[in-house]
Chain A
Amino acid sequence: MMDIKKRQNLQDVVIRFAGDSGDGMQLTGTQFTKTSAVLGNDISTLPDYPAEIRAPAGSLAGVSGYQIHFSSHEIYTPGDAPNVLVAMNPAALKTNLGDIDKGGIVVVNSDAFTDENLKLAGYPSHPLKDGSLSSYRVYEVPITMMTNKAGEDTGLSKKEIERCKNFFALGLVYWMFDRPIDVTIKWIEEKFAKRPQMGEANKKALLAGYHYGETAEIFDVHYHVDRARLSPGKYRHITGNEATALGLVTAAELAGKHLFYASYPITPASDILHELAKLKSFGIKCFQAEDEIAAMGAAIGAAFAGGLAVTGTSGPGLCLKSEAINLAVMTELPVVILDVQRGGPSTGLPTKTEQGDLLQALFGRNGESPVPVIAPATPGDCFNMAYEAFRLAVKYMTPVILLSDGYLANGAEPWLIPDLSKLKAIQVNYWTQKEGFFPYLRDKGTLARPWAIPGTPGLEHRIGGLEKAEVKGNVSYDPLNHERMVHLRAEKVARIAEDIPDLTVHGHSSGELLIVGWGETFGAITVAVDQLRAMGYSVSSAHFRYLNPFPKNTGDVLKRFDKVLVAELNLGQLALLLRGRYLVDCQSLTKVQGKPFAIQEIVNGALKLFPQKMKGAEEGKIWRIEQTQVLNN
Chain B
Amino acid sequence: MENRTNPGSEQLVSSPMALTRKDFVSDQEVRWCPGCGDYSILAVAQKTLPSLGVPKEKSVFISGIGCSSRFPYYVNTYGFHTIHGRAPAIATGVKAQNPDLQVWVITGDGDGLSIGGNHLIHALRRNVDLKIILFNNRIYGLTKGQYSPTSERGKITKSTPAGSIDYPISPISLAIGAEATFVARAIDTNPAMMTEVLTVAAKHKGSAFVEIYQNCIIFNDDAFKDVYDKSVRIEHSVMLKNGQPIRFGMDGKKGIRMNGIQLEVVEIGKDGITENDLIVHNDSLPDSAYAYLLSRMNVPEFPVPFGVFRRIERPTYEEMMETQLRDSISKKGEGELQKLLNEGDTWMVE
A309, B92: Cα distance in complex, Å: 13
Interchain CB contact under 8 A, B76 and A305: no
Per-residue contact bits, chain A 243-283, to B (CB 8 Å; 1 contact, 0 not): 00010011001101110101000000000000000011111
Provide the residues of chain B in CB contact with A432, threshold 8 Å. 11
Provide the residues of chain A in CB contact with B76, threshold 8 Å. 460
Interchain CB contact under 8 A, A260 and B329: no
Interchain CB contact under 8 A, A256 and B118: no
**A residues 441-466 in Cβ contact with B at 8 Å:** 453-466
The verdict on A92 contacting chain B, using a C-beta distance below 8 Å, is no
The verdict on B338 contacting chain A, using a C-beta distance below 8 Å, is yes
Provide the residues of chain A in CB contact with B92, threshold 8 Å. 287, 294, 297-298, 301
Interchain CB contact under 8 A, B119 and A290: yes
Most B CB contacts (10 A, CB to CB) among A306, A327, A454, A464 go to: A454
Partner of A306, one of B62, B98, B347: B98
Residue of A nearest to B93 (CB): A301
Residue of B nearest to A420 (CB): B338
Chain B: minimal CB distance from A72 (Å): 13
Interchain CB contact under 8 A, A301 and B341: no
Chain A: minimal CB distance from B32 (Å): 14
Instruction: Give the interface segment out of B50-58, B148-156, B188-196, B305-313.
Output: B50-58
A290, B2: Cα distance in complex, Å: 34
Residue of A nearest to B9 (CB): A455
Interchain CB contact under 8 A, A299 and B337: no
* Given A297-B90, A298-B89, A462-B79: A283 in contact with B338 (beta carbons within 8 A): no
Provide the residues of chain B in CB contact with A39, threshold 8 Å. 347
**B residues 47-79 in Cβ contact with A at 8 Å:** 55-58, 60, 62, 72-73, 76-79
The verdict on A38 contacting chain B, using a C-beta distance below 8 Å, is yes
A237, B344: Cα distance in complex, Å: 8
Q: How large is the interface on B (under 10, 10 to 19, 20 to 34, 35 or more residues)?
A: 35 or more
Chain A: minimal CB distance from B157 (Å): 25
Chain A: minimal CB distance from B319 (Å): 13
* Given A283-B329, A454-B98, A462-B81: A301 in contact with B349 (beta carbons within 8 A): no
Instruction: Give the interface segment out of A1-9, A226-234, A583-591.
Output: A226-234
The verdict on B231 contacting chain A, using a C-beta distance below 8 Å, is no
**B residues 104-133 in Cβ contact with A at 8 Å:** 118-119, 121-122
Interchain CB contact under 8 A, A293 and B337: no
Provide the residues of chain A in CB contact with B334, threshold 8 Å. 281-283
Chain B: minimal CB distance from A263 (Å): 12
The verdict on B83 contacting chain A, using a C-beta distance below 8 Å, is yes
Provide the residues of chain B in CB contact with A537, threshold 8 Å. none
A195, B291: Cα distance in complex, Å: 48
Provide the residues of chain B in CB contact with A285, threshold 8 Å. 96-97, 321, 325
The verdict on B280 contacting chain A, using a C-beta distance below 8 Å, is no
Residue of A nearest to B62 (CB): A301
The verdict on B3 contacting chain A, using a C-beta distance below 8 Å, is yes
Interchain CB contact under 8 A, B348 and A235: yes
**B residues 307-350 in Cβ contact with A at 8 Å:** 321, 324-325, 327-329, 331-335, 337-338, 340-350
Provide the residues of chain B in CB contact with A527, threshold 8 Å. none
Provide the residues of chain A in CB contact with B81, threshold 8 Å. 462-466
* Given A455-B100, A459-B57: A246 in contact with B341 (beta carbons within 8 A): yes
Most A CB contacts (10 A, CB to CB) among B93, B96, B332 go to: B93
**A residues 34-53 in Cβ contact with B at 8 Å:** 34, 37-40
* Given A289-B89, A454-B98: A462 in contact with B57 (beta carbons within 8 A): no
The verdict on A475 contacting chain B, using a C-beta distance below 8 Å, is yes
Chain B: minimal CB distance from A256 (Å): 4
Provide the residues of chain B in CB contact with A453, threshold 8 Å. 7-8, 11, 98
Identify 20 residue pairs between A and B in the complex whose beta-carbon atoms are under 8 Å apart, listed by A's number: A253-B337, A256-B4, A281-B329, A281-B332, A284-B325, A287-B92, A287-B93, A287-B96, A290-B118, A293-B86, A293-B89, A297-B119, A298-B93, A301-B89, A305-B93, A324-B86, A432-B11, A454-B58, A455-B57, A457-B55
Other than A281-B333, A304-B94, A460-B56, give 9 A-B pairs with Cβ distance below 8 A: A235-B346, A235-B347, A237-B344, A253-B1, A294-B122, A301-B94, A301-B97, A306-B7, A461-B79
List chain A positions with a Cβ less than 8 A from chain B.
Answer: 34, 37-40, 183, 227, 229-237, 246, 249-250, 253-254, 256-258, 260, 262, 279-285, 287, 289-291, 293-307, 309, 323-324, 326-327, 331, 417-420, 428, 430, 432, 453-466, 474-475
